């Protein structure tokens, strides 16, 4: 089983749509979780951290289910500028330090 | 806004040549990383560095790779004898706390011919 697994998509949605991405992780010792966004040929940038209680940042909502080792990202009212690859990232403590492991990424294209 | 800077942005080299990729992390950060991304593939962990030593490395980071922080500012990745499969985008990242938000540089694209 992959350490971090995502549906690669691509997801093609119209502006204004709601879209959800899923992610699973294999190591139950993982402690912190993130969604990063990567534009084409650019560096990854943090979109939001994911907390156990779930958290929201504007149009973006992240959920974590530790029992199922599952993370989700919901984007409401999609904008053209949301088109990017969304990376599920999991931090697993190793020898006292954290190691961030990236999923394959889910490609989102928002069209007019 | 402080940022991680990387040089060169693009390097083309012949197979078997040595390459050094340079990074200047954010000044008050303590943890440093190299990741790579082969075109069309996922971001892969190479190595983490803390307190002037490697804290962890992946299977990719074999004897051909080395890192150092010689002057307390630059954080370098050296590939001793490049192979075709080393062609990728190499990202440097830093963070103020282990496991926290990683700040990435814009990457160095390495092309091995």
Instruction: Note the pLDDT tens digit of each residue in A61-99.
Output: 999 999 999 999 999 999 999 999 999 999 887 665 677
User: Which B residues in the span 66-85 are in contact with A, Cβ-Cβ below 8 Å?
Assistant: none
Pairing mode of beta strands A70-75, A60-65: antiparallel
pLDDT of residue A1: 73
pLDDT of residue A29: 87
User: Which A residues in the span 33-62 are in contact with B, Cβ-Cβ below 8 Å?
Assistant: 34, 38, 41-46, 49
- Mutation target for B interface from A35, A98, A101, A106: give the one with most B CBs within 10 A: A98
Residues shown for chain A:
112
Per residue in A11-56, pLDDT (tens digit) is 999 999 999 999 999 998 888 899 999 999 899 999 999 988 889 9
Q: Is A10 in CB contact (< 8 Å) with chain B?
A: no
Residue at token pair 């490049």: B82
- Residue B47 in this model has a pLDDT that exceeds 90: yes
Burial label for B48, CB within 10 Å (0-12, 13-18, 19+), is buried
Residue A84: C-alpha distances to residues A112, B14, B29 (Å): 15, 33, 28
Residues of B in contact with A97 (CB under 8 A): 31, 48, 50, 55-56, 98-99
Q: Is B16 left (phi over 0), alpha (psi -120 to 50) or beta?
A: left
pLDDT of residue A41: 85
């Amino acid at each position: 089983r992959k350490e971090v697994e995502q549906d690669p998509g691509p997801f093609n949605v119209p502006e204004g749509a709601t879209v959800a991405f899923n992610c699973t992780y294999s190591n139950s010792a993982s402690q912190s979780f993130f969604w990063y966004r990567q534009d084409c040929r650019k560096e990854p940038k943090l979109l939001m951290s994911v907390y156990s209680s779930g958290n929201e940042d504007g149009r973006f909502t992240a959920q974590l289910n530790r029992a199922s080792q599952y993370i989700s990202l919901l984007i409401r009212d999609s904008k053209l500028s949301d088109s990017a690859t969304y990376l599920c990232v999991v931090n697993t403590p190793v020898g006292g330090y954290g190691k961030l492991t990236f999923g394959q990424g889910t490609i989102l294209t928002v069209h007019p | 806004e402080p940022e991680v800077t990387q040089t060169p942005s693009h390097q083309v080299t012949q197979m078997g040549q040595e390459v050094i990729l340079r990074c200047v992390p954010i000044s008050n950060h303590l943890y440093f990383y190299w990741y790579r991304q082969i075109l069309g593939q996922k971001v892969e962990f190479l190595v983490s560095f803390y307190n002037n030593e490697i804290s962890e490395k992946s299977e990719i980071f074999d004897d051909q790779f080395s890192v150092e922080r010689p002057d307390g500012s630059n954080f370098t990745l050296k590939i001793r004898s490049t192979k075709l499969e080393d062609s990728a985008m190499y990202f440097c990242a830093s963070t103020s706390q282990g496991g926290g938000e990683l700040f990435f540089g814009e990457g160095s694209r390495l092309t091995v011919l």
